[in-house]
Structure 1
């Protein structure tokens, strides 16, 4: 299994998690990449390059420029059964039914009522995360509009920005639950930073601009699980592919305080109980004077491994579920995304 590393100067591949190959994609900024078998797709672009998605098939690279109507850059990719999905800046969703050669825009997302009022985040109005459950369910994260869910492959959408738990076995009513209705003030802050499927039906983890959340019902309701972390601010979240309660985040010191590790010490924070408790894991990571940032798509997990990349050009890998780390690449351009090949 290889690791795909998107950077500001092309795509790199850590073959067998060790040997670095690249850069590919002619040095384009690559915001995100996914792969399956021998194929790789890499999304990116810029004002100079235009928006495009690179594809490696049978060892050869080619680029598709859509048409990506309205897109400045491509920011995210997901494999969804027999199609590919791509998200852009500004926040449009596209699909390809021919393995990435041609694309069309799925306008139901941005045609829904209220879309004209979506507010951009610091990086613009960006569709940066796509999750697909391979059964017709699709979830997207848009900064700073929030989370949206489709149960019909993208034909219709519902906003999923509600705070609180549904009543549990003990019959305790959470603060946001008011019969069958939610109060407007119980919406979570809509600047979602990243989403990851947990290893259970309906389980999703979220890193938000103001905390970490989990949902046990496909995003209908979000429960905050920030308590125990050193800050509320961070970008990525990754979840174990088999153990539902295990997830990892990388807290930073704050939105306006430099966006680097708290106290200058690099720690990946791990939960094994769905966010009830957290523990900082730093073996093999810089213990002081650390000022890098880990961006929203720059952490991923797979059977046997967790990896993250930094804006200072390093990639760190754990082979023991985040207990210890090793630097497997350094001196790369700014790392924008890390993904394990499928």
Structure 2
């Protein structure tokens, strides 16, 4: 059966699709789609193959786009993507997750919405707004955004979210109630003696290990962490990395011990590749040791960054790894980071990278 690999890109000027066969040696670029709206996240629903794009801004308002033909045509809806009258309006949709027959959307200002009809209409998951700490949440550099959405693979009632700058929260009852799960993660920007609060951390990216729902990895503004108990406690795994600061994280599709990161040089030092030398860092033991993958990546004048959703893996063997840059380049590795090739350039700022492998 023929396999087709799609690399789905959200950019500041629409969605793009890179496509290849399973060899992953030649890529075709299609787009821009979604009428060149700012698109923050593009995903595929693995159950249906439908593509979804999250976007909008204060000018357009929020919307989720949908394509059922591989990206050739798109429609969008914002029906129900709104808070109650008198509350701050939803400016944009920043994250999407599909699972258990539902589609979830994380928005700015931070909140969660769910759709049971493939994005045609949306319902506010109000329980998150009732979290006692909600009045104390503060915006990160890009705003108060729910940018990480992690669904339990077997239990539809369990969801984890990451919010800047509020932290990680978990629900076990489908969104009625939520609890903070930030113990062990730092907030260096807080006053002295308050660096490990119950909430208020600036989580950048939250991902779940394959086959181990309780194993979570988190790239934070203030460190890299692993949890083996569903986020109830976190341990630092940043030793051996060139920086404690970065945005994205991506798990291996089959091995829960393998993780990929793109550290930057620091939050106040320019937020580009350390020493202006591009590298993807990887671990094979859950963060115990790290090595840099550099072959094929620029080792001079690499002053670009990689945003929080712009690193992904595919499910082929060996796994492909992909990242998109703030300067509009996409790099790919067919061998789990061993060697890299630039497969696209001159695109708008890339906000997100996801993959989908179709069979047919």
TM-score > 0.5, shorter chain as reference? yes
- Distance in 1 (CA, whole Å) between partners of 2:79 and 2:224 is 35
**Aligned with 2:177 (options 147, 156, 165):** 156
In structure 1, which of residues 282, 302, 311 is the aligned counterpart of residue 294 of structure 2?
Answer: 282
**Structure 2 counterpart of 1:61:** 74
Q: Cα distance, 1:60 vs. partner?
A: 3.2
- Paired residue total: 324
Among candidates 197, 217, 222, match of residue 208 of structure 2: 197
From 5, 10, 13, the counterpart of 1:9: 13
Per-residue deviation, 1:66: 2.5
Residue 302 (structure 1) aligned to one of 314, 333, 336: 314
Partner of 2:114: 95
Match of 1:180 in 2: none
2:349 aligned with 1:334 = yes
Q: CA deviation at 1:7?
A: 0.3
- In structure 2, what is the Cα distance between the partners aligned to 1:100 and 1:341? 19
Cα distance in 1 between the residues matched to 2:197 and 2:237: 16
Q: CA deviation at 1:35?
A: 0.7
Q: CA deviation at 1:184?
A: 7.5
Deviates more, 1:290-299 or 1:145-154: 145-154
Rounded to whole Å, the distance in 2 between the matches of 1:148 and 1:299 is: 22
1:185, CA displacement in angstroms?
5.9
Q: Please say if 1:130 is aligned against 2:142.
A: no
* Alpha-carbon distance between aligned partners in 1 of 2:226 and 2:342, rounded to the nearest angstrom: 29
TM-score scaled by length of structure 1: 0.91
TM-score, normalising length from structure 2? 0.87
Aligned counterpart, 2:266:
254
SS in 2 for 1:108: helix
CA distance in structure 1 between the partners assigned to 2:137 and 2:213 by the alignment: 29
149-158 or 281-290: bigger deviation: 149-158
Q: What is the root-mean-square deviation in Å for CA atoms of aligned residues?
A: 1.6
Q: Secondary structure at the match of 2:95?
A: strand
- Corresponding residue for residue 125 of structure 2: 106
- 2:188 maps to what in 1? none
Q: What stretches of structure 1 of length at least 5 have no aligned partner?
A: 165-182
CA shift at 1:264, angstroms? Answer: 0.4
| Contiguous gaps of at least 5 residues in structure 2 | 83-88, 186-192
Aligned match of 2:37: 28
Q: Please name the residue that 1:119 is paired with.
A: 138
Quote the offset at 1:80 in angstroms. 2.1
Question: Can you list the C-alpha shifts for 1:21-44, whole angstroms capped at 9, x where unaligned?
Answer: 111000001000111344111001
1:323 maps onto 2:328 in alignment: no
User: In structure 2, the residue corresponding to 1:322 is in which secondary structure?
Assistant: coil
In the TM superposition, residue 54 of structure 1 has moved relative to its aligned partner by 0.4
Q: Give yes or no for the alignment of 1:292 onto 2:304.
A: yes
Query: Displacement, 1:104?
Result: 1.1
* Alpha-carbon distance in structure 1 between the residues aligned to 2:162 and 2:114: 16
